[in-house]
Amino acid sequence: STTAIIVVAAGSGTRLGAGAPKALVDIDGRTVLRHALDGVFAAAPMQVVVVAPAGFEQAAADALLDADRDRGRRASVVVGGETRQESVAAGLAALHPEIEVVLVHDAARALTPASQIDAVAGAVNSEVGVIPALPVVDTLKQVSGGEVVGPVDRSLLAAAQTPQGFPRQPLLAAYERAARAGDEHTDDAALFAAAGGTVRSIPGSERAFKITTPADLEHARMLVGGPMP
Ligand code: CTP
Ligand code: MG
């Protein structure tokens, strides 16, 4: 396969506040990272690069070995950086030379269905990047200094998920450009677009929500069906 997936797991999980890196927090006997990798290994074969928190490379390698039952994938672990963008850049440096399509995926979206990974990979081509996204369900307001300033037309908005997929060379060029300029972007699609790239959106899924807060972790535990702590 000429597709690779970079699973970024190097964050500290400040908002979760679990006392350990978020990727290593348990959901029903498996770590967040392991759940994410179970989705990755249920998708079509592709190179897998796990970006681990410094000092937790072995835990990440163990999760990779446990998820990779038939050892059928090219897979490796690299250490992440201070920001998500730096962590993705570390993963990009580990791509096999033949890779043409790169998916970037948050380990924190631990329950992302394999079908979403396959759908993104299938929609990327040499011209466009692809993100999965969901319609926004909340009623949104523009607020300034505690005052409601105006309505927001939510039909124009979508909530971005991962994996986000891109053609390799333009993505690498966009990352080099952002690093040179010192620009920080909120996600890979924004970074890719800032370099002039076109990004399309395909339907995301509710199971691909990001585990950010303790309530999200509770929700994930409920979906997996394990006992509540
Ligand atoms: N991530 C990363 N390297 C960083 C920061 C984030 O690899 N320096 C990864 C996280 O591990 C996560 C994904 O990017 O899988 C999305 O980030 P987020 O949900 O913000 O995770 P954290 O940064 O760990 O959480 P927080 O912002 O609450 O500290
Ligand atoms: Mg973060």
Q: Which of 13, 29, 46 is nearest to 163 (CA)?
A: 46
User: Is residue 32 within 8 Å of residue 25, measured between CB atoms?
Assistant: yes
- How does residue 228 score in pLDDT terms, banded at 50, 70 and 90? low
- Measured over the CA atoms of residue 56, residue 58, residue 60 and residue 66, the dihedral's sign is negative
Q: Is 14 a member of any domain?
A: yes
| pLDDT above 80 for 132 | yes
Query: Cα–Cα distance between 107 and 6 in angstroms, integer?
Result: 9
pLDDT digits (tens, 9 = 90+) for 145-161: 999 999 999 999 999 99
Give the residue from 23, 85, 79 showing the smallest Cα distance to 52: 79
Q: Give residue-wise pLDDT tens across range 34-57.
A: 999 999 999 999 999 999 999 999
- Note whether residue 49 is domain-resident: yes
Q: Is residue 19's pLDDT more than 60?
A: yes
Q: How far apart are CA 193 and CA 188, in angstroms?
A: 8
What's the confidence (pLDDT) of residue 85? 98
Local structure of residue 2 (DSSP, 8 states): -
pLDDT in tens, 51-79: 999 999 999 999 999 999 888 899 999 99
Q: Beta-strand (E) ranges in the chain?
A: 3-8, 26-27, 30-31, 47-52, 75-79, 101-106, 128-135, 141-144, 147-151, 158-160, 164-167, 198-203
126 with 168: CB under 8 angstroms?
no
Query: What residues are in contact with ligand 1 under a 6 Å CB criterion?
Result: 8-16, 22-23, 51, 80-84, 87, 106-108, 210, 212
Q: Cα separations (Å) of 62 from 92, 119, 132?
A: 21, 27, 29
Tell me the mean pLDDT in the region 172-192. 97
- Tell me how far the alpha carbon of residue 82 lies from the centroid of ligand 1, in angstroms: 10
Q: Do residues 108 and 161 lie in contact, with contact meaning Cβ atoms separated by under 8 Å? A: no
- β-strands 101-106, 75-79: how paired? unpaired
Domain of 168, in residue numbers: 3-224
For position 221, what pLDDT does the model report? 97
Q: Whose CA is nearest to atom 1 of ligand 1?
A: 11
Give yes or no for residue 229 having a pLDDT over 80: no
Quote the pLDDT of residue 72: 82
Distance 184 CA to ligand 1 centre (A): 14
**57 in a structural domain:** yes
159-184: average pLDDT: 97
**Is 229 a domain residue?**
no
- Report the 10 Å Cβ neighbour count for 88: 25
pLDDT-derived band at 200, boundaries 50, 70, 90: very high
Total tally of structural domains belonging to the chain: 1
Give the per-residue pLDDT at 227: 57
> Would residue 24 count as lying in a domain?
yes
Choose the residue to mutate in 5, 6, 8, 216 for probing ligand 1, maximizing ligand atoms within 8 Å of C-beta. Answer: 8
Whether the predicted pLDDT of 224 surpasses 60: yes
pLDDT over 60 at 24, yes or no: yes
In 22-167, where does DSSP find H-type helix? 32-42, 57-67, 84-92, 114-123
Query: What are the structure tokens assigned to 128, written together?
Result: 């466009």
What is the CATH classification number for the domain harbouring 155?
A: 3.90.550.10
Compute the mean pLDDT over every residue in the chain, rounded to the nearest whole number.
96
Q: Is the pLDDT of residue 124 over 90?
A: yes
> In the prediction, which pLDDT does 149 show?
95
**β-strand partners of 75:** 48
What does the pLDDT read at residue 71? 81
Percent helix, strand and coil across the chain, each rounded to 5?
35, 25, 40
Tell how far the Cα of 72 is from the centroid of ligand 2, in angstroms: 31
Closest ligand 1 atom, residue 15 Cα: 28
Token readout for 8 is 């970024």
Phi-psi group of 225: left, alpha or beta (phi > 0 → left; psi -120 to 50 → alpha; rest → beta): left
pTM greater than 0.95 (yes/no): yes
